[in-house]
Amino acid sequence: MNAKQVQKFALRYLEATGCHIIEKHPAYVTVKLSPEADKRLTNRSYYWSFVERTGAPPETMTFTFVFDPEKLRAEAEAKGAGAPPLNGAPRPGASPQVLGPSGQPLPPGAQDTILGRYFGIAPGGPATGPGRVPREEVTFGSKRLAQLFDAVKADGRWVQLFETPDPSSRVGPGPSAGYVSFLNVNVKIELACDMKRDELHSFGVNLATGELRDRFFESIAGRKLTPRLPPNVYIARPAVTLAKGRSIVEQHVERLLKRYDHRWAAAANERLRDELERVDRYYEDAVKGLEDEQRQAAEDQWRKRREELDWQYRPRIRVTVVNGGLFHLQTPLNGTN
């Protein structure tokens, strides 16, 4: 991922979680986190437990996320000033600051109070000054970007989306439109031995008919979807339950795997046998004439090496669900399986 792709991903997450964008720049963004994003990204579990116990109004943190550090430094040098320190590092010669639970410096006089020491009195508004906002680099491979990935995986693994109605498809107010519901399951199939191949499959089960659709995500990629039920739209009661839909996907995956050419597994088993025979010949000669203690250590090493080879070469197929959701569509999908 390049800097633009990282920035696009991060902004989509921040906007989806209701964060307030204070300043947007091609190289960075300054944002006040929403409570949802603050809980996910700041690791302040003690602070949030205090807020929930006492009912105190929460004070979320403000961050500047830098997506292109080189561009930011170049612009600062062109203006004749050094770039502000990243990650909230103090400037050379500056006195250390005491931060409250919101991540902002405590105002004078509050740092020596009991509340200031243990809970913090977070200043609000622009009085904190732009230099006091913590800065972090969000680049490919950074810890903060990995944290955003984890948050998206945890919160966005399952979704429910509705197709935005096409105004041209209806004339006048007319009756309410009925939508067709699909259970979408995106599956990763791993074929592993001493080599590995991964496949991604997207399946959609029509909950009205039980028909399974392959390449489901590709078929809806061009449709406009929204998390809110559009007006004048109703969702028909499904004839197929979610449990039955899941069973349909599982049975389809089993049939799909049975049609695979499994010669790769036979070849992997043959390589495994060759490696085990080679190791056995080596250790059979190595343990001869050893004392009891040395012989036990050699046999433990022998057994461990066999286990390592078995893990490395033995063929296996692993099927995992990546994500999915419920999709309510206005028009049926084109084509058939």
Between 45-54, 107-116, 124-133, 195-204, the lowest mean confidence (pLDDT) is in: 107-116
Token pair listed for 254: 């089993």
Cα gap 39→57, rounded to integer Å: 14
Render pLDDT for 164-190 as a digit per residue (tens, 0 to 9).
887 665 544 445 567 889 999 999 999
Cα gap 174→285, rounded to integer Å: 87
What are the φ/ψ torsions at residue 36 (nearest 5 degrees)?
Answer: -65, -45
Pair type for strands 233-235 and 177-192? parallel
Between 192 and 171, the more confident residue is 192
Q: What's the pLDDT at 96?
A: 47
Q: What's the pLDDT at 179?
A: 87
Render pLDDT for 67-91 as a digit per residue (tens, 0 to 9).
998 888 888 888 765 445 544 444 4
Cα gap 65→31, rounded to integer Å: 8
Between 121 and 292, the more confident residue is 292
CB neighbours (10 Å) of residue 180? 19
Token pair listed for 85: 């320190």
* Amino acid letter for position 119: F
Q: What's the pLDDT at 150?
A: 87
CB-CB contact of 238 with 208 (8 Å): yes
Q: What's the pLDDT at 170?
A: 52
Nearest in space to 210 (alpha carbons), one of 242, 254, 187: 242
Token pair listed for 45: 């579990």
Sheet holding 135-137, edge to edge: 20-24, 28-32, 62-66, 135-137
- Angle between helix axes 3-16 and 143-155 (nearest 10 degrees) is 40
Cα gap 63→293, rounded to integer Å: 60
Q: Which residues contact 221 (CB under 8 A, 6 or more apart)?
A: none
Q: How many residues does the chain have?
A: 337
- For 246, the 3-state DSSP assignment is helix
327 — pLDDT class (breaks 50, 70, 90): very high
Give one DSSP letter per residue of 76-124, joined into a string.
Answer: HHHTTSPPPPGGGPPPTTPPP--B-TTSSBPPTTTTTSHHHHHT-----
